[in-house]
Chains A and B, each alone.
Chain A
Amino acid sequence: MVTGVLFGSMFLLMLMDVPIVFAMGVAAAAGLLMLPHVGLEVIAQRMFFGLDSFVILAVPLFLFLGELMEAAKITDRLAELAEAVVGHLPGGMGHAAIVTNMIMAGISGSGTADAAATATVLVPAMTKTGYPTAFAAALVGAAATIGPVIPPSIIMVIYASIANVSVGRLFLGGIIPGLLMGGWLMVLTGLFARRMKLPRGPYVGLVGMARATRRAALVLVTPFIVVAGIVGGVFTPTESAAIAGVYALLLGLVVYHTVRPSGLPEIVRRTAWTTGKVMFVLSTASILSWVLARADVPAQLARMPFLSDTEHPWVLLLSLNALLLTFGAVIEAIPALVIITPMILPLAIKAGIDPVQLGVVMTVNLSIGLIIPPVGSIVFVMCGLSRINIMEFAREVAPFIVALIVPLLLATYVPPLVLFIPTALMGPG
């Protein structure tokens, strides 16, 4: 009963153009009123303590890193490097766009930030060499979905805080699936290049590649700062995000002179803006998850068809993926994540699915959701920056969305692809 009211009212409110965060809050309050022996005081406490966690502090720092990297115009250097290395293949600029996004994914934690940073540089460059604009935007958008999968990742940090698993393990678990997504998109681009007769760039030779690598070298260090510190157990995710932030700040201010001290307040303001948006969702979601647990919703879900089948984890995983893709297509990744994780996690653990693997699968899935029109946040970024309408974008991005299901299924059904690196580097969980 509580479950029905909770979800019924939440989805109804979302469709009524009520901001998602309030749909969650009002539904949770309605659920609270139906529970015996609890008062609405819970709302105040949960909202405050929902944010009072040390791991969560990494999220704004990664957002800051993303804003800094965009302001410091480091994408130019990465794109130059990617072009030198893969630009001479058939569909050269397309491959360069994918590789640039894979490197960006290793620096920033957000697919949307990657899309914004790479689109401004790559889409015009691709259009200039003869790519149709909508196709170029779709390709760059699809490549930007690798952002949250290759570490660092904001989605993973949030999942880790909800599911209480190691951020380091999740980060490492995303590496192979992320590379698979990139490799698979490159295969697809090769096929398109042949059919659309897309141009290839000149081969610059080893000297050219070395020169481009040297120009990008200082940027390429960033992923190691972020990931190595966490995995080595030297720094917490929050600390390494802060160190990477200082490093990026030094790069922009002192080394490249692309960021001016007078521009810093604006960068901080933009970061704080996004932080407020994301954190308000998280804090409201913590009322919701409290009510869900109190009303014993996971146990009720466990009796539903498909989800109840803990004997056959593959059925559970398939229904979870279908649910997430649908969910991710209509609401933003972070609200979807914070609503679904507390419900699905107990079921997955009961079915013997590793919570780290579940986290990576959810991350890949929700990242694909970022490019599903009409509401995916990468869709807005690409359409806005490239001045194309959503229908044009939708037509061009459709094959990429379908293609990305392949790495998603691989990550879902071949657990070693996810768990191999974390187990090898950090021991069995």
Chain B
Amino acid sequence: MRRVLAIVDAAIMGLVVVLWAAFFLCVVAQVFVRYVLQLPLPWTDEVARYAFVWSSFLSASVILGRGQHFSIDVVVGHLPRIAAWIIELIGTALCLAFTLILMQKSAAWAWRLSYARSSVLELPLGVVYAVLPFSAGYMSIHLAGRLVGLLDRGAGGRRPSW
């Protein structure tokens, strides 16, 4: 399971790098075409914004798996093991509840808007918004893994880092 997640993480980060590069090139192209060639290039703005939003949410889901989001662990680190374990369980379960709600709500929202098109390139907005349910789903998988790991190791086990 851990190996599969590592491969998916790497694949997502590869996609993130491509999307980020596309975002950068679009902003640069936009500046060049607007100021040097004096022409408007409206599609670059749309691609840049969507590529940026996609790369941000996708990398956020991988970052969660690696436990790299900002967090404060000084308090829990000083608690007795059993208390720390219970707190970690509750915290992880709440995060999982949040990502599951986010996945369900954003999927419904993307589905409802699947007929709508973006203003310039006429991309289906449902596809653009699909990054949210996808990332939230992947976050849920990581969080479920953390929850299972916590239960598996029991109160005496080493505390997993975020």
What CA separation (Å) do A277 and B88 show in the bound complex? 21
A276 interface residue (CB < 8 Å to B): yes
A residues within 8 A CB of B48? 57
Contact B71 A269 (CB under 8 A): no
Could you tell me if B49 and A242 are in contact, using CB atoms closer than 8 angstroms? no
One of A82-90, A116-124, A251-259, A327-335 contacting the partner? A327-335
Cα–Cα, bound, A245→B31 (Å): 12
A49 to B75, CA, bound (A): 34
| Residues A21 and B109 in contact, CB atoms below 8 Å apart | no
Q: Which chain B residues lie closer than 8 Å to A273 at the CB level?
A: 59, 63, 68
Per-position binary interface string of chain B over residues 4-33, scored 1 when its CB falls under 8 Å from any chain A CB and 0 otherwise: 000000000100110111011001101100
Over the window 1-43 of chain A, the binary record of Cβ atoms lying under 8 Å from chain B Cβ atoms (1 yes, 0 no) is: 0000000000001111111111001100100000000001101
Q: Are A268 and B28 in contact (CB under 8 A)?
A: no
| In the complex, A415 has a CB within 8 A of chain B | no
> Could you say which residues of chain B place their CB within 8 Å of the CB of A279?
56-57, 60
Contact of A17 among B13, B76, B98, B129 (CB under 8 A): B76
Instruction: Tell yes or no: A265 within 8 A of B by CB.
Output: yes
Interface size on A, residues (CB 8 A): 53
Whether A52 sits at the interface, judged by CB under 8 Å, is yes
Residue from the set A51, A276, A374 with the largest chain B CB neighbour count within 10 Å: A276
> Within 8 Å CB of B55, what residues of A?
272, 275-276
Query: Is A17 in contact with B73, judged by CB distance below 8 angstroms?
Result: yes
Return chain B residues, CB-CB under 8 Å to A265.
17
In the complex, which residue of chain A has the Cβ closest to the Cβ of B66?
A273
Q: Is B74 an interface residue (CB 8 A)?
A: yes
From 229 to 270 in chain A, residues with beta carbon under 8 angstroms from any chain B beta carbon are 235, 238-239, 242-243, 245-246, 265, 268-269
User: Would you give the shortest CB distance from A43 to chain B, in whole angstroms?
Assistant: 6
Contact B68 A277 (CB under 8 A): yes
Whether A20 and B69, one on each chain, are in contact in the complex, defined by CB atoms closer than 8 angstroms, is: yes
B52 contacts A by Cβ under 8 Å:
yes
Asked if B72 lies at the interface with its beta carbon under 8 angstroms from chain A, I say: yes
Instruction: Say yes or no: is A326 at the interface (Cβ < 8 Å to chain B).
Output: no
Q: Are B62 and A48 in contact (CB under 8 A)?
A: no
A242 touches B31 (CB 8 A): yes
Given contacts A16-B76, A41-B105, A48-B129, contact A272 B16 (CB under 8 A): yes
Query: Are B98 and A22 closer than 8 Å at their CB atoms?
Result: yes
| Docked-complex contact A272 and B59, CB < 8 angstroms | yes
Inter-chain contact B91/A235, CB cutoff 8 Å: no
**In the complex the two chains form, what is the Cα distance from A93 to B89 in whole Å?**
50
**Of A26, A238, A243, A330, which one neighbours B95 at CB under 8 angstroms?**
A26
Which residues of chain A come closer than 8 Å to B56, judged between CB atoms?
51, 60, 275-276, 279-280, 283
Mask, B28-51, CB within 8 Å of A = 1, is 101100000000000001001100
Q: Is B53's CB under 8 angstroms from A272's CB?
A: no
Please measure, in the bound complex, the distance between the C-alpha atom of A261 and the C-alpha atom of B46, giving whole angstroms: 27
Q: Does A281 interact with chain B (Cβ within 8 Å)?
A: yes
* B108: min CB distance to chain A, Å: 7
B16 contact set on A, CB distance < 8 A:
269, 272, 276
Say whether A319 faces chain B, with CB atoms less than 8 Å apart: no
Interface code B93-124, partner A: CB below 8 Å = 1, 0 otherwise? 01101100110011011000000000000000
Q: Look across to chain A and name the residue whose beta carbon is closest to the beta carbon of B69.
A: A19
A276-B59, A276-B60 known; A238-B27 Cβ under 8 A:
yes
A163 interfacial by beta-carbon distance below 8 Å: no
A103 to B76, CA, bound (A): 40
- Measured in the bound complex, the distance between the Cα atoms of B16 and A201 in whole Å is 47
Given contacts A44-B132, A277-B68, contact A268 B21 (CB under 8 A): yes
Q: What residues of chain A lie closer than 8 Å to B24, measured between beta carbons?
A: 61, 64, 242, 245, 268
Any chain B CB within 8 A of the CB of A397?
A: no
Min CB distance, B147 to chain A, in Å?
13
Asked whether, in the complex, the Cβ of A21 is within 8 Å of the Cβ of B70, the reply is yes
Collect the chain A residues with CB atoms within 8 Å of residue B64's CB: 19
Chain B contacts for A356, CB-based, 8 A:
none
CB pair B59 A47 closer than 8 Å = no
In the complex, A408 Cα to B55 Cα: how many Å?
A: 36
Residues of chain A lying within 8 A (CB to CB) of residue B52: 51, 57, 60, 275
* Bound CA span A239–B49, Å: 13
Q: A242-B31, A273-B59, A277-B69 are in contact. List 18 more A-B contacts (CB 8 A).
A: A13-B94, A16-B87, A16-B88, A17-B76, A19-B70, A22-B94, A44-B105, A44-B132, A47-B132, A48-B129, A57-B52, A64-B24, A245-B28, A275-B52, A277-B60, A277-B63, A277-B70, A375-B74
14 A-B residue pairs with Cβ-Cβ distance under 8 Å, sorted by A, are A16-B75, A17-B91, A19-B70, A26-B95, A40-B101, A43-B102, A44-B102, A52-B49, A60-B56, A239-B27, A242-B27, A268-B20, A272-B16, A280-B57
Residues of A within 8 A of B (CB): 13-22, 25-26, 29, 40-41, 43-45, 47-48, 51-52, 54, 57, 60-61, 64, 235, 238-239, 242-243, 245-246, 265, 268-269, 271-273, 275-277, 279-281, 283, 330-332, 335, 374-375
For the complex of A and B, the 3 pairs showing the least CB-CB separation, nearest first, are A276-B59, A44-B106, A280-B60
